[in-house]
Structure 1
Amino acid sequence: MKAAINRFSAWVVNHAMIMWVIMAAFTLFFAIGLRTVDIRTVFSDLLPKDDPYVKVFSDHPNFGNPLTMTVMVKRKDGKIYNSETLKKIWNLTRDIDLAPGVDHDTIISITTEKARYAEATPLGVNMQPVMGDRVPTTPEELEDLRRRIEQSPNAKTFLVSRDESAAVIQATFLESKVDWGKAFAFVQNLVEKARDKDHEVYLAGQPALIGWVYKLRAQIGWIFIATFCALTVVLALYMRNFGGTVTPVICSVVAGIWGFGLAGWIRSPIEPLLLVVPVLLVARTFSHCVQYSERYYEILAHVRNKKKAVEICMSVMMVPSVFGIITDFLGITLIAMAPIPAMERFALFAGWWAIAIIPNGVILISLLLLALPTPKNIDKLVGQDTGLHGAIRNWLLALAKITYGKPAFLTAGFFAVLAVAATYLAIQIKIGNPVEGSNVLFPDSEYNMAVKAINRNFPGVNTLEIVIEAKPGAGQKWRVARSEEASFVRTKLQALIESSEHPPRATLSFTDYMMEGNRLFSGGSPKWLPLDPDPQAVNAAGTSVTMGSNPKNFANVSDYAFQNSTVSLWYADNKQETVDNALATAKKAVDAVGVDHKDFTVRLGTGLIALQQSMNNVTERFHYRILGALSLVIVILASLVYRSVIGGLLLIIPVLLSNFLLFAAMNIVGVGLDINSLMVAAVAVGVGIDYDIYLLSRICEEYHAHDGDWKRTIAASLSTTGKAILFTATVVLVGLTPWYFMSDLKFMSDMSILLLILVTINMIMALVVLPLLVWFIKPKFATRTDLIVGESYDLSDFTAKGSEIDSMMAKV
């Protein structure tokens, strides 16, 4: 293997022009794909394919569809029963009907025919819209509208607030036909125009949340630019030469072109919320390149021959570089274990980008170092003076002293206590949404303020649906939704849930309409609300409220054929505690009425509450599976590379401790673990092990140069590769910092601060915990001379001798 690596390195150096042509051709190919890069949210792809709640949603998308926008118009100084406010509601309702991608049949407000009231007439029950074909203007007309709404339990509860100061308009969008950015911009523009000194207008719902992410997408581009500039400036200040500065920049740009280019070629949408991961990948490309450049400068300082130095550097760095990048790749691709299409697509996109770092971080950087002028500050870069690099080296030598000898026991005790505390906090991390509204945006964002305002005035925007699904062939004589058994099952479900320990704010089913028709048909007294236990009486009640009405008017509680129906439950928020209580209560009620009936099946459930839980179920099922699978693969690969299981354990212990510390930090700062944060955390685990790989490989090299003296080996490794680790971690920290301060997306800020914490933890694990483990274990594999991570060339003259290390250690 060593001989093959040596031959390949020599071939690349001796045939640089051929390699330039190959790299240019690939880059041009992927650059063409940039034209069709698609950054957008596909809501259905965020849902797990195998979850029972998602299957209910797929079978009955008209019940509790989360792709619904809710607009609330609130009068500041009184009630809505005035021509000005009603005109505003009327216009908004009809203007929203023009929004791109809207499902016209779903729009509802008190100004549409779906908002109906019932009254008894000599000919039977008459169902009419609460508002006619124009806005009422006279006091008599306004009072008549108010009376009609009072006679409409549905409108009074769900379309007009309890204090009569607000009304809502709801519209569902067709995912297959909608561009979320355009739809949101259209409706948001209507909302902004409708606001005035007398009215507050709010917009909420999942499409509005997606729209805000789209609107802030442009901001992400500017943060990318700020991040890239910050990385370049820090790199320039550290390297102080042209070649050392531009090589990581060029390699990062080319790797990014390859990554985004493939996504463009295969037309695979990229989720906007996960664009913090490409920043991490850019920073990791910088990191690999800095590690590579630092080693190149070390070798060049001794051989004083650029071509030979590039060849040796490629031979020495190829295996640890490729091994480190493969762990990055595995950390990304293993998230595809979760059965969520968006995660699978993202794993392909980011995983390919990670793999693209190999040719760019090994071959392209070698070609660049070969082509660019030899830097004049090599001695300063390798730390042979008292400047910045010398100061860093001396600090690392001082740090090394706590990882061996007697101080090592105190250090080990500290990290043992830290590991116990981190594990305790990590296992208590909350899965799901910890806030009212969305944790994607800040609490004071316009969206979250809208959610809170609507929740204060109405049952809310968060529903849970229990579907009464007709069996095939059922209901030939009577429509199943109108049947006696279905009606009483819905009634019992509502009664059980409303009387539970955690009742919803409101419930609604087709039975409620039937009961109102029964009351009116029987003379109008409330005592006639309950339906008689007689099939013909029940069917008569159903017929009385639907006769002469468009079936679409009941689309929120029944399908157009009155076969399938639903029990809708409204909750004040979608915090995880609320979600857990709602589902537990609903499941208990479903168990009480039974799942299987003669003509129908009771299915729990759909709606925002159930779909949110479906994604949380995946997070709960897979976050430890992904971590476990990644850990196992790392141990296997490391065991093969270092020809010892001990090598795998030395690498995985710091990684696991880092992960538990990350989860502990998330618990402390109140960031819940969900699908998006799981993907970021999984990527970070694979990325974090790079530092340990580079340092452990250097320890194997230095062991032989220092005649098996573990103290000198650890000190020499930290003063060389440790210096590159410290700087590359700093580069990553600088790259992520702008996301915390500049992003209006709370998710981006949260993920950036967590990644900042994780990078810092990974750096400490590499610089302290790994040397500490090496000191206590003293791995025998480091004594081998045939490891592929060891030297492929005799570099015994290229490293500090034991006496030199002793002298440097004495100075600090």
Structure 2
Amino acid sequence: MEPLRFRIARWVMRYRVAVLALFVIVTIGFAAGLPGVEIRTIFSDLLPRDDPFVQTFQDHPNFGNPLTISLMIKRRLAHPDAADAEPTIYNPETLAKVWQVTRDIDLAPGVDHDQVLSITTEKARYVEATPTGVDMRPLMDDRPPVHPEDVEDFRRRVERSPNARVFLISRDDTATLVNATFIESRLDYGEVFAYVRDLADKARDADHEIYLAGQPMLTGWVYHLQKQTYGIFFVTLGALMLALMLYMRNVAGMVTPIVCSVVAAIWGFGLAGWLRQPIEPLLMIVPLLLMARSFSHCVQYTERYYEVLQHVGDRRRAAEITMAIMMAPSILGILTDVFGIVFIAVAPIPTMVRHAIFCGFWALWIIPTGVFLISILLSWLPVPKNLDQIVGGMQRERGIHLLQKRALGALSSLSHGPRARATSVVVVLLGVGAVYTASLIRIGNPVEGSNLLWHDSDFNTAVRAINSHFPGTNTLEIVFEAKKLDLETRVSRTPDVVQVSQAIQKMVENDPVLPPRETLSFSDYMMEGNRLFAGGNPKWMPLDLNEVATTGAAIAITHGTSPVNFSHIIDFEQQDSTISLWYKDNKQETVDAALASARRAVDAVGIDHPHFRIRLATGFIALQQAMNVVVDRYQWLILALVNIAVLAVSSYAYRSVLAAVILLVPVNLSNFMLLSAMHLLGIGLDINAVIVAVIGVGVGIDYGIYLLSRICEEFNAQGQDWGRSIHAALTTTGKAIMFTATIMLVGILPWYFLSDLKFMADMGLLLVAVMLINMLLSLIVLPLLVWWIKPGFAAREDLVLGEQVDLRKLAGG
């Protein structure tokens, strides 16, 4: 009985006009969804929902909110030799600038007006004892100081505000901070980025430097560099098409990859538009990889079509036969790409789930476009005039095709015959080295600031500048959460909270490994209030641990002021509170040490108490760790799921578990080699890098499926000679594998030199590594395994893949 795939191919070609019309209608339908495509970041959707740190952040968003922009104004002197030169902020010009910048940033779109803080806002206060009690007033009155005596009075006020001296004004008095927190539901990163940068540009002058840091600015830079990124993408696509033109040198070879890839892209983006699911900007690199995968499948398909066409001579008949031959390996190869994407959805991160749906369906659309649409197009496109130069054999092939065939012929000699033993030794040694080096890779951020941008970028320069003048931009928050709302007790000011809070602060401040730069709790404010209430002598700072003392100190410090002035440290009802710990940077070793220190302190005092519980933790450091934990928990699970899926479908297709093992060995070896390359290149392992690594498994399986299927096809044709079968497969199917990997190198490597987004440059290097490593392992290790194992399934005639086709017989059919 004729195989099903031959019947499907005959039906499609018989009704090819109707099928093409269906493709046009479906493409128009998906294209109608394109206006709904939205490329934007939703910060909370980047966080794993099941992580306790994330849950603490969602329950207490005011404590250590990462959606904060820190703007540092640093005084410098254009003429430092001037007689009246004083490089401090205590001058009318700088204070007026801080005043104006604070009011301007308070007008930024999406800003939380209650969370704007600088030395000019009401939240920055000083306290002094008076004959009638404790007087708490803003550092600055309703206008900036103008006269020298006003400036001097302002300086004296600052000296009475310990927290301002630590957190808002640098120790050398040359810099001050303006902090503004944004409301996520109203935050448009691109709009805020443009507004704040324009504000900074206007404030910058010969005597003042302006630095901008914070998560909204980081994401804003990603938005800002999108246009450059899209430009680089077009350069890449142009390079791919140019390479394709030079390689094929005919209309059919040029048109089919471009048309099929564009149609799949319209379907992919169109579905995202119809579903109204925003696409994360940083993950736009994966659609480009899918475009390249579509190119790869089309090149494999077209080269096989040329081989068939040379035998049968008729375009329609050749397209039909090629569809029947390539249907199974193409579908299986594309499904492995789909597996490499959809299993990302097991990570409990909403952005990853949306990404899996968007890119998973896009990868799936390569099946109809790369199997059926391409066959219809090939049946109508003109016969290439250079057919012999591409698939005419050693005697007639010319140019790059002849060079490829010679190179692949030499390469095949490494995988069989006398040289196979030496090659095996080298592969084993490389494998052991790769596994060892991969084990050294660090999860998390390896740099101060962000690894998304280059070291000398404006953002990372700003982070280093702020960290050098202030406690920093990286906090870890230990939250004290009241067990129930009790407006009479006000849990955050009870003796128990004060005692436990002070104990934790003392332990972390004396941590022998990594003490924080600064700590802050509501107890610190209460101690200052107690000192002033008792006449101002420092000896009265320690609080008596009884209800009267702690309540009196809290009332003294908060009386006459809005509760929102303390919202960064206690909630509005004074039930929940936090201890803020500042650390020097957010490198992974700092994050690990900070969390270990906090855990030791919390374990020492206990988590559960009569009226409150301690939750560890929130803040920038805790949320960064939450992302790292996802990578640690899920990277091997995702890889295992991909392996299981490939094992199942490959075992069915080849009627042999051994075939699946032969396919999976080189691709998993390539994964270890990729991790080794990342370690050697200094690229940290985060969720974005894991996505590229897992997709790399699909790429390698693609190559392996095409090659193993061709070896099986050649086995009987070559008189069941393993060496000749391997040689024939590598010099035919191997050409397309080598070409697609090479053009990806040509197209993507320039990213490293063109992109101001280091993430894109790093991912470009990873993609190049993925392509080259998988190409070499597919062309060397897979045939080497076949040579040593000599699998029996290659001789079977009932394989879904690798069925021997007699082209001479079909040519007359």
Matches of 1:183 and 1:719 in 2, distance apart? Answer: 56
Matches of 1:666 and 1:683 in 2, distance apart? Answer: 15
Which residue, out of 745, 748, 752, partners 1:736? 748
Pairing of 1:436-475 with structure 2 (within 5 A): 436-473=448-485, 475=486
Contact 2:316 2:380 in 1 (8 A): no
Contact 1:260 1:349 in 2 (8 A): yes
Q: Flag the 1:186–1:2 CA change in 2: closer, same or farther, 3 A.
A: farther
Q: Flag the 1:796–1:498 CA change in 2: closer, same or farther, 3 A.
A: farther
Letter of the 1:421 counterpart? G
Which residue, out of 656, 659, 676, partners 1:647? 659
The secondary structure found in structure 1 opposite 2:672 is helix
Measure how far apart 1:303 and its partner are.
Answer: 0.7
Contact 1:479 1:563 in 2 (8 A): yes
Partner residue, 1:629: 641
Structure 1 position 137 matched with structure 2 position 154:
no
Letter of the 1:147 counterpart? R
Task: Normalising by structure 1, report the TM-score.
Answer: 0.97
Matches of 1:207 and 1:2 in 2, distance apart? Answer: 61
Give a deviation string over 1:688-707, Cα, whole Å, max 9, x none: 21100100000110001011
Pairing of 1:437-516 with structure 2 (within 5 A): 437-473=449-485, 475-501=486-512, 502-516=514-528
Measure how far apart 1:2 and its partner are.
Answer: 6.0
Letter of the 2:138 counterpart? P
Contact 1:239 1:245 in 2 (8 A): yes
Matches of 2:242 and 2:809 in 1, distance apart? Answer: 34
Give a deviation string over 1:1-25, Cα, whole Å, max 9, x none: 9621111101111111111111001
Matches of 2:349 and 2:336 in 1, distance apart? Answer: 22
Give a deviation string over 1:80-126, Cα, whole Å, max 9, x none: 00011011111110000111111111000000000001100112111
Measure how far apart 1:796 and its partner are.
Answer: 6.5
Matches of 2:666 and 2:494 in 1, distance apart? Answer: 63
Matches of 2:804 and 2:725 in 1, distance apart? Answer: 19
Which residue, out of 728, 736, 754, partners 2:766? 754
Partner residue, 1:399: 411
Partner residue, 2:46: 46
Pairing of 1:148-159 with structure 2 (within 5 A): 148-159=157-168
Partner residue, 1:26: 26
Measure how far apart 1:478 and its partner are.
Answer: 2.2
Measure how far apart 1:685 and its partner are.
Answer: 1.7
The secondary structure found in structure 1 opposite 2:455 is coil
Partner residue, 1:689: 701
Partner residue, 1:315: 324
Pairing of 1:64-75 with structure 2 (within 5 A): 64-75=64-75
Pairing of 1:228-627 with structure 2 (within 5 A): 228-384=237-393, 385-388=396-399, 389-473=401-485, 475-501=486-512, 502-627=514-639
Contact 1:226 1:738 in 2 (8 A): no
Matches of 1:41 and 1:789 in 2, distance apart? Answer: 42
Matches of 1:696 and 1:111 in 2, distance apart? Answer: 71
Superposition RMSD on alpha carbons, in Å?
Answer: 1.2
Contact 1:302 1:798 in 2 (8 A): no
The secondary structure found in structure 2 opposite 1:504 is coil
Q: Percent identity?
A: 57
Which residue, out of 660, 675, 688, partners 2:687? 675
Matches of 1:279 and 1:222 in 2, distance apart? Answer: 13
Letter of the 1:484 counterpart? P
Letter of the 2:507 counterpart? L
Structure 1 position 790 matched with structure 2 position 802:
yes
Contact 2:110 2:188 in 1 (8 A): yes
Q: Flag the 1:418–1:602 CA change in 2: closer, same or farther, 3 A.
A: same
Give a deviation string over 1:380-435, Cα, whole Å, max 9, x none: 11043252212211221111111111200000000100000000011111000000
Partner residue, 1:185: 194
Task: Normalising by structure 2, report the TM-score.
Answer: 0.97
Pairing of 1:761-800 with structure 2 (within 5 A): 761-791=773-803, 793-795=805-807
Residue correspondences, number: 798
Letter of the 1:569 counterpart? L
Contact 2:315 2:380 in 1 (8 A): no
Measure how far apart 1:476 and its partner are.
Answer: 4.4
Letter of the 2:666 counterpart? P
Structure 1 position 200 matched with structure 2 position 212:
no
Measure how far apart 1:367 and its partner are.
Answer: 1.1
Matches of 1:31 and 1:711 in 2, distance apart? Answer: 49
Give a deviation string over 1:147-200, Cα, whole Å, max 9, x none: 111111111100000000000000111110111100111001101111111000
The secondary structure found in structure 2 opposite 1:160 is coil
Matches of 1:299 and 1:373 in 2, distance apart? Answer: 15
Contact 2:337 2:695 in 1 (8 A): yes
Matches of 1:299 and 1:643 in 2, distance apart? Answer: 26
Partner residue, 2:59: 59
Letter of the 1:129 counterpart? P
Letter of the 2:20 counterpart? W
Measure how far apart 1:535 and its partner are.
Answer: 1.1
Query: Structure 2: where are the runs of 5+ without partners?
Result: 78-86
Measure how far apart 1:677 and its partner are.
Answer: 1.2
Contact 1:393 1:723 in 2 (8 A): yes
Give a deviation string over 1:352-384, Cα, whole Å, max 9, x none: 110010011011111110121111111111043
Matches of 1:586 and 1:330 in 2, distance apart? Answer: 40
The secondary structure found in structure 1 opposite 2:140 is coil
Pairing of 1:81-100 with structure 2 (within 5 A): 81-100=90-109
Matches of 1:79 and 1:705 in 2, distance apart? Answer: 85
The secondary structure found in structure 1 opposite 2:615 is strand
Measure how far apart 1:687 and its partner are.
Answer: 2.2
Give a deviation string over 1:580-600, Cα, whole Å, max 9, x none: 000000000011111111110
Contact 2:388 2:397 in 1 (8 A): no
Contact 1:270 1:346 in 2 (8 A): yes
Matches of 2:455 and 2:598 in 1, distance apart? Answer: 29
Query: Structure 1: where are the runs of 5+ without partners?
Result: 800-812
Measure how far apart 1:797 and its partner are.
Answer: 7.3
The secondary structure found in structure 1 opposite 2:613 is strand
Contact 1:279 1:735 in 2 (8 A): no
Matches of 2:392 and 2:166 in 1, distance apart? Answer: 74
The secondary structure found in structure 2 opposite 1:556 is coil
Measure how far apart 1:143 and its partner are.
Answer: 1.1
Partner residue, 1:658: 670
Contact 1:280 1:736 in 2 (8 A): no
Matches of 1:2 and 1:480 in 2, distance apart? Answer: 80
Q: Give every structure 1 segment of 4 or more consecutive aligned residues whose post-TM-superposition deviation is greater than 6 Å.
A: 796-799
Q: Flag the 1:2–1:203 CA change in 2: closer, same or farther, 3 A.
A: farther
The secondary structure found in structure 1 opposite 2:295 is helix
Letter of the 1:175 counterpart? E
Matches of 1:67 and 1:495 in 2, distance apart? Answer: 29
Partner residue, 1:802: none
Matches of 2:711 and 2:809 in 1, distance apart? Answer: 16
Matches of 1:18 and 1:720 in 2, distance apart? Answer: 33
The secondary structure found in structure 2 opposite 1:105 is strand
Contact 1:286 1:731 in 2 (8 A): no
Letter of the 1:206 counterpart? Q
Matches of 2:119 and 2:809 in 1, distance apart? Answer: 86
Letter of the 1:707 counterpart? G
> Which range moves more in the overlay, 486-495 or 104-113?
486-495
Matches of 1:478 and 1:162 in 2, distance apart? Answer: 38
The secondary structure found in structure 2 opposite 1:103 is strand
Partner residue, 2:729: 717
Matches of 2:403 and 2:586 in 1, distance apart? Answer: 52
> Which range moves more in the overlay, 217-226 or 774-783?
217-226
Measure how far apart 1:458 and its partner are.
Answer: 0.3
Measure how far apart 1:637 and its partner are.
Answer: 1.2
The secondary structure found in structure 1 opposite 2:126 is strand
